[in-house]
Amino acid sequence: MKALDTLAEHIGKDKVIHEHESRALYPCPSQAARHIIGVAKPHNIKDVQAIVAWANTHNIKLYPLSTGRNWGYGGGNPVEEDCLIVDMGDMDQIRNFDPDLGSITLQPGVTQGDLYNFLTDHSYPFFAPVTGSSPHCSLIGNALERGYGVTPITDHFQGITEVKAVLADGSIYQGQLDQMDVESSKLAKWGAGPYVEGLFSQGNFGIVVEATIKLEAKTDHSIMIIFKPSDDAEDFEQVVRISRELMQTQKKVVSAIKYFNKAYSVALNMPVPRDELAAPDFDITAWLNDASKKHRLPEWLGLIFIYGNDDLAHIAARECKKRLAPHCKSIVIFDRKKIKLARAANKILPNIKPLQMIKAQIDTVSASYDLLRGMPQSRFLKAAYWRAGELPDNQDDYHPGRDGCGLIWYAPMLPMTGKDLLKFEQITKDVCARHGIFPVVSMTTISEQCITALVPIMFDPATESEQAFACHKDLFESCQAAGSLPYRAHIDSMAWYGADNQTTHFQSALQKAKQHIDADGLMSPGRYQRRKA
């Protein structure tokens, strides 16, 4: 496209890429692909403003991204065709760190690994707000998409205190107090007046060029409890109730709780049954039941993450164990010493077939504890390779899009009650069975009232793409009928929100705001918007 040559004149030839297939630069495990105009890679705010001015002149739509590793939600693909991708990965500066108050300003290209290394290299005692999606994923991108983790500030957008963005007319947005040079504006989420920064979370109102986040100070002790609820449904319901009460009464100590169904445990620790899958009469449910019985995997596995000083953390752990014990098969408390022993044992265990499951489980426990301590992990991304893909030898090199995996994430919000969680798992089993997809489910608390489920729809791109897409749509519609929807959408499902041929109050208000801030629809067209019929 000749217009790209004029953009290169403004920001430099090395910052403009002529490419018309997004999959070539941002391979996506969900197999999404879009035709694009090209890619611009700004190095500073002036570059971003020049790109916006150029886009206005040539009527080109822009789609900003941080690192393009939005794995199961569409990767680095725009929602709509014919956009110019604005890749913010080269804007990776860390600035304005306050070692006393834990406030830090990051550009979008700063990854989880970058921040962890920065804090570790300087011995700053703060947690990096990590996820299990790999050290190479953007912190700001994850926070703006309302990602979550298990470290004390579990809701990552909640940790953002200040945003700076370039708007569609090239002007800079800053919070009111920040623009008035009020130093304390970086220390609190709410400034004065309406909370405008919320428009940049899952929105399309500008290009965020930096954000300030608050970091939580590290505690003396971190404890992880692994528990196996009894297989009886009533016991599981009691476990969820007790977990909710523990979060209510042990605020800031019990940070997060996770649940994994047995299909998830199988996928994380056992190879996919490739030979059996080829059989026309292969029964996924029967195979999962046999595999879990053979390796003594429970219907559900639970993790509790605890932070505090020595006495407080161990008192909380004992209380958790005491209350959960009547409804669980086993409960194991891991602190730093026990993790160290487990790692030492794993090193001396021979790598023979009868012990491979045990070694894999120890690896998973070890990675979970490191995540608890704020260390970015790639271990959990390994599950994306379970159904298809060439697994690299080095975990640090995992890239499900590049390596031929098939993965779509579906992440609905659910009330934190046992009945609701079991109801959702049953819906997932029924839908996945209709489409020949393994019903893998994990769940993470985002508050004591609400839990977010994650269903990784894993498939072989060579043969199963259509059934994976159909499964995704079926899950959305089945869960909507049951009263739940995802908190975060894949690029193909953003148009599914709302009633057919009807503008919701939400969409109407959003369109009015968009008309005032970005009348020509320059920024990220289609994000969380119903497409016109």
* Residue-wise pLDDT tens digits, 284-321: 888 998 988 888 889 999 999 999 998 899 999 999 99
Higher pLDDT, 185 or 461: 461
Higher pLDDT, 1 or 207: 207
Tell me the mean pLDDT in the region 377-383.
88
Domains, the chain, in order of start with CATH, read 1-218+497-533 (3.30.465.10), 221-488 (3.40.462.10)
Contact 81, 130 (CB under 8 A): no
CA–CA separation, 305 and 336 (whole Å): 13
Task: Please tell me the least confidently modeled range out of 65-74, 161-170, 497-506.
Answer: 497-506
Angle at 87 between CA 521 and CA 444, to 5 degrees: 90
pLDDT at 500 over 70: no
CA–CA separation, 254 and 244 (whole Å): 10
Q: What is the Cα gyration radius of the chain?
A: 23
* Residue-wise pLDDT tens digits, 183-199: 777 888 888 889 999 99
> Amino acid identity, residue 154?
T
* Residue-wise pLDDT tens digits, 119-166: 999 999 999 999 988 999 999 999 999 999 999 999 999 999 999 999
Note the pLDDT of residue 383: 86
Grouping H, G, I as helix, E, B as strand and the rest as coil, residue 129 is coil
Is residue 269 very low, low, confident or very high in pLDDT (cuts 50, 70, 90)? confident
pLDDT at 25 over 90: no
pLDDT at 328 over 70: yes
Note the pLDDT of residue 361: 84
Note the pLDDT of residue 267: 82
The first and second tokens of residue 398, run together, are: 């995992």
Note the pLDDT of residue 503: 66
Residue 214: phi and psi, rounded to 5, are -100, 140
Q: How far is CA 323 from the centre of its chain?
A: 31
268 forms bridges with which residues in the sheet? none
Name the burial class of residue 95, with classes exposed (0-12), middle (13-18) and buried (19+) by CB atoms within 10 angstroms of its CB: exposed
Note the pLDDT of residue 185: 77
* Residue-wise pLDDT tens digits, 405-424: 999 999 999 999 999 999 99
pLDDT at 533 over 60: no
pTM (2 decimals)? 0.94
